[in-house]
Structures are given as structure tokens and as C-alpha cells.
Chains A and B, each alone.
Chain A
Amino acid sequence: MVQTILSRLSTSLLVIFGASVLVYCIMYLLPGDPVLLMLDPSSATPEMIENLRVQLGLDQPFYIQFANYFGDMLRGDFGKSMINSDPVLPKILEHFPATLALTALSSIIAITIGITLGVLSAIHRNGVIDFVARLVGLFGISMPTFWTGILLILLFSVQLGWFPAMGSDGFSSLVLPAATLGLVGAGFIVRMVRNSMLEVINEPFIVALRAKGLSERAIMYGHALRNALIPAVTVIGMLIGDLLAGTVVVETVFSRQGIGRIIADALMAKDLPVVQGVVFFTSIIYVVLNLLVDISYSYIDPRVRRAVRT
């Protein structure tokens, strides 16, 4: 087990490095000049533009710029924002908890609603519960996130006044954004769990269990669900990554602080050091998530555990 984790970690480092290089190249090749974006194009003189370019080291060839950047990053220096000279690392560390809290709560909402409804709708196939579950699934998948967010604001904030429409102070301001993202996630999980449950229910071993006289409840929750969860866990792992990306929209709609807002702003402004820093951090999160998904397989399915050992 330890060995697997170690080997996974080393490939993970490669993935993180690759992501950094790729994003650096994309940002570098994007049309548009960050210096021109920083200065007011109608009043900046050519020499001002040139001076700023030299100050930022943007007059250097690509490979030197990249080498400088990467070297600094290994020393823990992620550089400063080109727009307001904020150091990148403290900025990310300051905003990361808010995004993590949002992702965590929306994952919990998504997983709870998703698995519960998924299982129930498979068991009560074509019944009322099934209809409701499929409706929730369809709603979650097909509604654009910002639209769901605005609907929730209109209903729960403007009309009912239960939760604040925006901000990032305290738990109450976390509810609506997390529900928005959670609904999207729940939509995917409901469909996934429902499908795999239906498949498992028709497998011969379920028939065998019934023949042995096990109660329906024990069969469904003790055996069928456990088997159905394997594909679901994969989806959930990827989904948490998606939720992390979904914070870009949700944090803007609900005016929350967080990594999503930072990267959206930085992309608009072509603020290279900030984009790089955020990508580096999110790629770490993705890699860790994948690792956790792999490990969880072996807990859910003993066959995987055995295969790992040999």
C-alpha cells in the first residue's frame, strides 16, 4: 500500500510540473500584451510601456522567463501580481480556506443527496421517488450554475430573507453557494448511482442472496450498494475537482472570496504569476483527490486491496 502511494506521489509530481509548464506556455502564447493591459492604452507613452516591460522581465526570451519563474517557485517564491504587486503565495493561502469550505460543503450536499436519491430511485424504479430523483438529476445537470445561483438568491434571500445574498462571513453565507454547487454535483451522482445500482440489482449474486433468505434491506444496503459505489466513487472524485472549478462562477455570483474569483480576475488581466500560482495549487488538490479515490477503492472493494498487495 505504502509503495503504491509513493509511486503514485512521484507520478503526481510530474503531473504538477507538466500542468505548470502547459499553463505557462498557454499564457505566454495568448495574444495580448500584459503591459498594455496594465497601462491605460490611451495615455501610456511607448517609453513607459518599454520601461515597465523591462522591469517585469518580459523583454527576456521565453526560456529564461520560464527558468526564472520555475526556479523562484521551487524556493517558495511565487512572485508578485503584475496588477497590484501583491505577493502571490500569501494571497493564495489567504483565499484557499474559503474555497475549500465551499467545495467541502457542496461535496457533502452533492454526495448526500446524490447517493440517497440514487439508491432510492433504483429501488423504487418508476415510482414517485424515482421521478423526483430523475427530476433533481436533470435539473442539476442542465441548469447553468449562475442561473441556479440567481434563482436561489431570488427565493431564499430577496423573498424569504433566510440567507444572505452574498458575502463570505460565517456559515449562513455559505449555504446558498454550497447548495448551488451541490445541486449540480447531486445531479451527476444521482444518475450514476441509479444506473449502477440497477445494474447490480440484476446480477446473479443478488438472486443468490435472496435465495439464501437475506432481508431485502440487508441485500440492498449491505451488498448491492457496496458494489454500486465503485463506479460512483470515481465519478465523485472527478466531481469534486469539477466543484473546485465551479467555484469560479459561484464565487462571482455570490461575491465570495476565494481562489475562483482570484483566477477569474487574473485571467482577465493576464496576470501570469497569479494564474500560475493558482494552477499549481489546484493541480496539487486534483492529484491528492485522485490518490484518495484510488485508496478508497481498496476499502470498498476487497478485490482491489488484494490486487494491490500482490
Chain B
Amino acid sequence: MNRSISWMKYMALAAVLVMVLSGCGATGGSTNSTAQASGGGQAGQAEGGNLTFALATSPDTLDPHRSGLAVTVRAIRTIYDNLVVQLPDGSIKPWLATEWSVSEDGKSYTFKLREGVKFHDGTPFNAEAVKYNLDRVIDPATKAANSLALIRPYSSSEVIDEYTIKVNLESPSQAFLGNLSQALLGIVSPTAAQKYGDQLGKNPVGTGPYTFVKWDENADIVVAKNKDYNWGPETVENKAAPHVDTITFKIVPEEATRIGSVQSSQVLAAETVPPQNIAALKNDPNQQLLQANTVGLPYTLFFNLRKAPWDDVKVRQAIQSAVDVESIVKTLYLGNYERAWSALSPGILGYNASLEGSINPDINKANQLLDEQGWVKGADGIRAKDGQKLTLRYVDGSPNREKRNDIAAIIQQQLKQVGIAVEVEITKDIATVIYQNWDYDLYGNSQVNSDPNALYAFYHTSAEGERPTLSGLSDPKIDELLEQGAVESDADKRVEIYNQIQQYLIEQAVILPTYVFPYTVAASKKVEGIKFDSLGYPLFNDVRIQP
């Protein structure tokens, strides 16, 4: 007893100490607005220097074709270029390919390639190199990861001449060109890929603005400016060699350490600022906060429609009305994250903005719907029907990444009010629980993607023998729309198709969209010109460090 009291005293003492210390840090005073992807146009003439940038997790490999992690993209974007680039408005512009044409049937693309480009190892960039890359992704020996999903429905390519290549698809795809702009389909040096094999990830060679220098595992990745570079895409101002000499990506998984190292000037910038630190950083006269919403699927909770009673739209709608997403997002992210309204995030082609404000919490409606469906509250306050309790199995696979475990806890409390018992299971082993046993009623996921065709993998009826989708939705009408959306070449019609799909998913309460994840970077005021691409990944071509 005595011991526990004194223990608590020390803890309280320590807590006070921390509060005093962090309080000191926040007393900056001068106002400072959040930069939305800082302009960088009026930047001074500073050249050289080393940008230190703290990453939240370690990249798995620097081989774009084999990577499965978003964090990798922050680093490989500097080393590799793509054939095309996507602008924030969704349009596709030239990069390593200068122009292209699509065949009548939409199944083949002919690319004219930029001349005079060399890989960092001196290998010339040409049609052979592009063919090698595309074939490499679909070669099982490569063990390609996410890039394989992006390259579908690629079948083959033909070298027409040194700088012309024809790419053939199995079926038309409107997502294909946009996918070619994604960093995971970056073009690697064929010479290096053959030389290093599965070790290319440790010896990456591309055509990008920075060349690889070294990677000390769990410590840092260093890239240096590529002096010969002069083929930057439209997303950046500086098309030529970067202004800074080197970038050092430091790997700092612990939040407090990452933020601490920016504040102590040990690094010039750090990614993924936790919401609770955002206010303090905004008030820090030496720091700036950069923010870009990621594009694709927002963090979305999927009902497993294959399991009763979640196959009943009324029950799902009851939950939709009972869960107060607005207050969850406000409480957990302190106003720094946007609430999601649709299956797609704002900023992607076809986003249905009319859904904003469409669903609002309504406990009476939730109760009424459940009563109608015969779910009656028992003595313990939990609803039951035919002797079976209304229980929702909520599975979350992250060690509270972006406070996702807390979302589960709040939903558990909110649904208790309408008589639904929520069992929360937190497990790292999503592969087994979700994808093998389908043992969940509600499970959350998000995806960074440049094309609304991303919806296909989540809502289209899965083919015989293929793994089922997360939602388990199977509706011929939606299948047809998703198939049309994949091939429709008229942009307006495409927007209309995806609008309909999103409308349906909310009306039928197939999902509960939760929040749009902003990619946040805290940086010293000395750093200018960090930009973000259309997916929300940082670009370092324009960066300058003021002395």
C-alpha cells in the first residue's frame, strides 16, 4: 500500500516535469500559418546543403517493383522516374515518355520516349529498358508486390524502335496510364536489375533527380543530387538537377523522438506529425507545418456482408445512424484530420462531393430500424433476436496507427447506446483473421491510389477461386458499373459512373467512411520548396535550404 502511494507520487512528479518541459517548448508567441504545400516559387538562391528528413518507418526495399510499403515511396521518388506523371487534377502529362497514343480498342498504348536520358550507372534509357521493366514486374521471379496490382492488365510490349514502345493490355483499362505514374512502377536500370537481382533494393539505380549513396539499415538512407538531371515532370518547378547536394532520410519510428529531433534541429524535417503535436509546432517560430491529404480510399470501415445480420441493409443503416463519425474524428484528431464522407477521398477523379453532409447521427432512427427488424433489447440492454445477441466483431490490425484502436473503442461505446455489443479484436495477424478466415463483421482499411478504379478490388463480386473482397458485396448492378468505369474513355461519363457507385455504397450502408489521412511534415523554416505529388507523397526537386 505504502509503496504504491509513493510510486504514484513519483509518477505525478515526472508528469509535472514533462508538462513544464513541453510547456516551455510551446511558448513561441509569433503567429505562423499552416503552409498548404509551400509554394517555393519565390525561394532564394541558396544552393547546396544536406536535407535531413526523418521517416516514421523503415522502407522494406528500394526496389520499387518489390516494395509493399507507402514509406518506401518517399525515398524511391527521389531515385526513379516514371513514364508519365499525374497532376493533382487527374490529368496525365509526359515524363520519361514524351507522347503516347491509344489504339481504337483501348488495348494498346504506343509511347514515344525521351531521348538522351541515362540511368545513374550510365545505361541508356530506351524502349528496351522500358520493356525490361514492364516484363520484370509480371515475372514471378521478381516477387513483385504492390506494383503487380498496378500494372494489371498488362500483357506484353513490343520495341518499335530505339525510342518507341508499344504496350499491350489484356483488356482496356482507364486506370493503367495513371498507374504508370505511380512510384512503384518507377523505371529501374536493366543493367543494375540484372547485376544485383534480388539485391537491387539495396543497390537502387534509376534515372531520377537523386542518385543512391548508401543505406545503413534502420539508421539512414542517403541520396545525392544527379548533376545530369534535366527531365523533371510538371509537378515540380525545377526540371534540372536539385538545389541541395544530398538528402539523408533518417529512420525514426518513435513519434516523440521524431518530433524532438526536429525541435532540437537534429533534423530539418520530419514526417507524420501526431495530431497532438500539431498545435505546438504551429506556434513554434522556427518550424513550419506542411500538409497534404492523401488520395485514394480514405480510412473506411467495411461491413462483412457475407455474415448475418450484416447482410441486412436495415441493420447496417442502423449502425450508420448510430455511429457519430464527426465526433470521433474531432475527438481523436483535434480538428487536424478531415472526416471522410464517401468510399473515395476528395481530390480523386469522380469523387462524389454531394455525399458530404448526407449521413448524420440519429439515435432514434437507429433504434427504430433495429426494432423493425425484430432486434429487441434484453434485460442487459443488448438486443437479441431468436435467442441470438446482436454482436459486432470489430477487427483492427494496427498497433494503434493513427489512433485506429481508439476509433474501435469509441464505436464500441456509441453502439452500446442502441443495444449492440461490440467485440473489439486487435491483431497483427490480419492475413489470417481477415483474408484467410473472414472472421470479422467490421474491418477498416485505406489505400493510396490515383484512380477511382481502386474501388474494383473492394466491391466487385470476386471471381470463382479468387479471394473475396473486404466488403463481400455482390450486386450485378455495381459489378457492371465497376467494369464500365475501368474502360470508359469519356471522362464525364466516368465521373458519372463513379458518382453512382459511391452513392450506392453510402445508401446501402456497405461502409462507414471515417477519416482522410493527411500526410504531415514538420520542417525548419530554413527549408523551402518541399512539395507533394497528386497522391500526397513529398517531392524534393525544388528544395532549398536557406543558411
Report which A residues bind B (CB closer than 8 A): 31-33, 36-46, 48, 51-52, 55, 83-86, 91, 94-95, 135, 138-139, 142-143, 146-147, 149-151, 153-155, 157-159, 161, 164-168, 251-258, 261-262, 265, 268
Is B334 interfacial (CB 8 A cutoff)? no
Is B61 interfacial (CB 8 A cutoff)? yes
Cβ-neighbour of A45 out of B202, B260, B466 (below 8 A)? B466
| A252 and B146 in contact, given A86-B202, A159-B24, A265-B58 (Cβ under 8 angstroms) | no
Cβ-neighbour of B431 out of A36, A45, A262 (below 8 A)? A36
CB-based contact A84/B434 at 8 Å: no
Cβ-neighbour of A40 out of B7, B22, B149 (below 8 A)? B149
Residues of B135-170 whose CB lies within 8 A of A: 140, 143, 145-146, 148-149
- Nearest Cβ on chain A to B401's Cβ, whole angstroms: 13
Q: B465 to chain A: which residues have CB within 8 Å?
A: 46
Q: B252 to chain A: which residues have CB within 8 Å?
A: 166, 255
- Nearest Cβ on chain A to B38's Cβ, whole angstroms: 24
- Nearest Cβ on chain A to B302's Cβ, whole angstroms: 11
Q: B430 to chain A: which residues have CB within 8 Å?
A: 41
- Nearest Cβ on chain A to B204's Cβ, whole angstroms: 12
- Nearest Cβ on chain A to B12's Cβ, whole angstroms: 13
Is B264 interfacial (CB 8 A cutoff)? yes
Q: B217 to chain A: which residues have CB within 8 Å?
A: 86, 91, 94-95, 257, 262
CB-based contact B260/A158 at 8 Å: yes
Q: B251 to chain A: which residues have CB within 8 Å?
A: 255
Nearest CB in chain A to that of B399: its residue: A268
Q: How far is the CA of A161 from the CA of B68 in the complex (A)?
A: 37
How many residue pairs link A and B with beta carbons under 8 A? The number is: 155
Interface-central residue, A39, A151, A254, A255, by most chain B CB under 10 Å: A255
Q: How far is the CA of A32 from the CA of B254 in the complex (A)?
A: 26
Name the interface size band of chain B: 35 or more
CB-based contact A143/B14 at 8 Å: yes
Nearest CB in chain A to that of B140: its residue: A51
CB-based contact B435/A41 at 8 Å: yes
CB-based contact A142/B7 at 8 Å: yes
Q: B89 to chain A: which residues have CB within 8 Å?
A: none
- Nearest Cβ on chain A to B35's Cβ, whole angstroms: 23
Residues of B25-60 whose CB lies within 8 A of A: 25, 58, 60
Residue-by-residue, is B413-453 near A (CB-CB < 8 Å gives 1, otherwise 0)?
00000000000000011111011100000000101000000
Q: How far is the CA of A265 from the CA of B57 in the complex (A)?
A: 10
Cβ-neighbour of A84 out of B201, B218, B436 (below 8 A)? B201
Q: A257 to chain B: which residues have CB within 8 Å?
A: 216-219
Is B257 interfacial (CB 8 A cutoff)? yes
Q: A86 to chain B: which residues have CB within 8 Å?
A: 202, 217
CB-based contact A253/B431 at 8 Å: no
Cβ-neighbour of B219 out of A45, A158, A167 (below 8 A)? A167
Interface-central residue, A151, A166, A167, A258, by most chain B CB under 10 Å: A166
Is B266 interfacial (CB 8 A cutoff)? yes
Q: B14 to chain A: which residues have CB within 8 Å?
A: 143, 147, 151
Nearest CB in chain A to that of B200: its residue: A85
CB-based contact B457/A43 at 8 Å: yes
What are 9 inter-chain pairs, A to B, with CB distance below 8 A?
A41-B430, A42-B435, A42-B445, A46-B467, A91-B217, A154-B21, A154-B256, A159-B25, A165-B264
Cβ-neighbour of B264 out of A39, A161, A262 (below 8 A)? A161
Q: How far is the CA of A247 from the CA of B182 in the complex (A)?
A: 37
Is B253 interfacial (CB 8 A cutoff)? yes
Interface-central residue, A143, A146, A165, A262, by most chain B CB under 10 Å: A165
CB-based contact B254/A146 at 8 Å: yes
Q: A261 to chain B: which residues have CB within 8 Å?
A: 218
Main secondary structure of the interface of A (DSSP, over half): helix
Q: How far is the CA of A162 from the CA of B366 in the complex (A)?
A: 57
CB-based contact A157/B261 at 8 Å: yes
- Nearest Cβ on chain B to A45's Cβ, whole angstroms: 7
Is B300 interfacial (CB 8 A cutoff)? no
Q: A33-B431, A42-B457, A161-B264 are in contact. List 16 more A-B contacts (CB 8 A).
A: A32-B432, A36-B436, A40-B149, A41-B434, A83-B60, A84-B201, A138-B6, A138-B10, A151-B17, A157-B266, A158-B21, A159-B21, A159-B25, A166-B252, A166-B260, A251-B218
Q: How far is the CA of A55 from the CA of B141 in the complex (A)?
A: 9
For the complex of A and B, the 4 pairs showing the least CB-CB separation, nearest first, are A43-B149, A36-B431, A32-B429, A85-B198
Nearest CB in chain B to that of A47: its residue: B140
Q: A252 to chain B: which residues have CB within 8 Å?
A: 253-254
Q: B10 to chain A: which residues have CB within 8 Å?
A: 135, 138-139, 142
CB-based contact A33/B257 at 8 Å: no
Nearest CB in chain B to that of A164: its residue: B266
Is B18 interfacial (CB 8 A cutoff)? yes
Q: A268 to chain B: which residues have CB within 8 Å?
A: 428
CB-based contact B68/A255 at 8 Å: no
Cβ-neighbour of B257 out of A44, A51, A142, A165 (below 8 A)? A165
Cβ-neighbour of B254 out of A135, A157, A253 (below 8 A)? A253
Q: How far is the CA of A143 from the CA of B13 in the complex (A)?
A: 12
Cβ-neighbour of A255 out of B25, B148, B149, B254 (below 8 A)? B254
CB-based contact A40/B429 at 8 Å: no
Q: How far is the CA of A165 from the CA of B145 in the complex (A)?
A: 34
Q: B202 to chain A: which residues have CB within 8 Å?
A: 84, 86
Is B263 interfacial (CB 8 A cutoff)? yes
Q: How far is the CA of A121 from the CA of B371 in the complex (A)?
A: 70
CB-based contact B435/A36 at 8 Å: yes
Is B250 interfacial (CB 8 A cutoff)? yes
| A37 and B431 in contact, given A85-B198, A150-B256, A158-B260 (Cβ under 8 angstroms) | yes
Cβ-neighbour of B25 out of A44, A55, A139, A158 (below 8 A)? A158
Q: How far is the CA of A165 from the CA of B467 in the complex (A)?
A: 45
Residues of B185-232 whose CB lies within 8 A of A: 198-199, 201-202, 216-219
Nearest CB in chain B to that of A254: its residue: B257
Q: How far is the CA of A226 from the CA of B415 in the complex (A)?
A: 65
Q: A36 to chain B: which residues have CB within 8 Å?
A: 431-432, 435-436
Nearest CB in chain B to that of A34: its residue: B431
Cβ-neighbour of A167 out of B18, B201, B250, B435 (below 8 A)? B250
Q: B457 to chain A: which residues have CB within 8 Å?
A: 42-43
Q: A146 to chain B: which residues have CB within 8 Å?
A: 254
Q: B466 to chain A: which residues have CB within 8 Å?
A: 45-46
Q: A149 to chain B: which residues have CB within 8 Å?
A: 257
CB-based contact B257/A255 at 8 Å: yes
Q: A258 to chain B: which residues have CB within 8 Å?
A: 218
Nearest CB in chain A to that of B66: its residue: A84
Q: A168 to chain B: which residues have CB within 8 Å?
A: 219
Nearest CB in chain A to that of B255: its residue: A150
Q: How far is the CA of A42 from the CA of B219 in the complex (A)?
A: 30
Q: B143 to chain A: which residues have CB within 8 Å?
A: 38, 52, 55
CB-based contact B429/A84 at 8 Å: no
Interface-central residue, B18, B219, B428, by most chain A CB under 10 Å: B219
CB-based contact B21/A41 at 8 Å: no
Interface-central residue, A37, A86, A158, by most chain B CB under 10 Å: A158
Q: B445 to chain A: which residues have CB within 8 Å?
A: 42
CB-based contact B431/A154 at 8 Å: no
Q: How far is the CA of A150 from the CA of B264 in the complex (A)?
A: 13
Q: How far is the CA of A261 from the CA of B252 in the complex (A)?
A: 11
Q: A48 to chain B: which residues have CB within 8 Å?
A: 140, 148
Residues of B253-306 whose CB lies within 8 A of A: 253-254, 256-258, 260-261, 263-266
- Nearest Cβ on chain A to B473's Cβ, whole angstroms: 15
Interface-central residue, B6, B252, B430, by most chain A CB under 10 Å: B252
Nearest CB in chain A to that of B68: its residue: A40
Cβ-neighbour of B250 out of A33, A40, A43, A255 (below 8 A)? A255
